[in-house]
Amino acid sequence: MRIGKKGLSVAELLLSLGFITTVILTVVGLTTTIHRTGQESADRVSASIVAESEIQRVIAAAQSDNNFWDNDHTSTPYLTGTVRVDRTDFDYEVTATTVMDGVDELGTSGGLSQNRLKKVNIEVTWWDSKTTEHQGYGKLEFKASRLVSEVNE
């Protein structure tokens, strides 16, 4: 008759605890990564909605603003602001440049001040990503642009 061992040896116990700990840490890490990816995806959708609504609002307001049409707004943004969506603050910056062709300004026969065709850019950032890098999230920004001409009445 063989006498069986009752219980595990210390080495077997440590090995099993190490394996269980590794499995638990892997599951926690994967859960965190999945949550982070889901949050970033939701924020990108919100940022695209903010960009679209703000660029449309800016374009509508700029139609009657001579400063918008007569000057380029590249080094100093035309407009900046913050929009809050679902507990996240989205900062945006709108710039505008006059569209030129190879020879002369598009949309006019003479002079930069008479050119009425602009490329409007908007950059939306969140989580203070313009100044802070967030480990594991990548660059938290969304960019969009529109080509706009002045409405002649």
- The tens digit of pLDDT for each residue in 53-110 reads 999 999 998 888 888 888 888 889 999 999 998 888 999 999 999 887 656 555 554 5
pLDDT at site 1:
47
Q: Which residue range is the domain that position 117 belongs to? A: 10-149
Lowest-pLDDT choice from 5-9, 28-32, 133-137: 133-137
In a domain, 26, yes or no: yes
The pTM for the full model equals 0.67
pLDDT of residue 128 exceeding 80: no
Q: What is the mean pLDDT of residues 25-35?
A: 86
In a domain, 116, yes or no: yes
In a domain, 4, yes or no: no
pLDDT of residue 122 exceeding 80: yes
Lowest-pLDDT choice from 4-13, 37-46, 88-97: 4-13
Q: What is the mean pLDDT of residues 135-143?
A: 78
In a domain, 140, yes or no: yes
Q: How many domains does the chain have?
A: 1
In a domain, 5, yes or no: no
First to last CA, the chain: 106
pLDDT at site 134:
62
Q: CA-CA distance, 58 to 94, in Å (whole number)? A: 8
In a domain, 2, yes or no: no
Whether 125 and 51 have beta carbons less than 8 Å apart is answered as no
pLDDT at site 114:
55
pLDDT of residue 131 exceeding 80: no
